[in-house]
Amino acid sequence: MDTGSATPKDLLRKTIDDQPEDSSYEEIIRELAFAAMVERGLADAIAGRTITHEELRKTIESWRK
């Protein structure tokens, strides 16, 4: 989805419009939440707020202790 100049409201409308007509409220909410997470992740990546694969591996390993 090209989000170049789209407003959040535009993105919400597009996400909802892209859903099948028989989508449930829960399915639409799930898609909206997913779209928001993707947008947040892309913004983090652009801003340089990322970690390396190795850093992630170490974090996950620390959870197992």
Give the global pTM: 0.70
Give residue for tokens 């989000």.
Answer: 3
Q: What is the pLDDT of residue 63?
A: 96
26 three-class SS:
helix
Per-residue pLDDT of the chain (65 residues; tens, 9 = 90+): 555 688 989 989 999 999 999 999 999 999 999 999 999 999 999 999 999 999 999 999 999 98
**Could you tell me the two tokens for 42?**
């892309």
First to last CA, the chain: 40
R_g of the chain computed on alpha carbons: 16
Q: Counting beta carbons within 10 angstroms of the beta carbon of residue 55, is it exposed (0 to 12), middle (13 to 18) or buried (19 or more)?
A: exposed
Give the chain's largest Cα–Cα span: 47
Q: What is the pLDDT of residue 34?
A: 96
Q: What is the pLDDT of residue 6?
A: 86
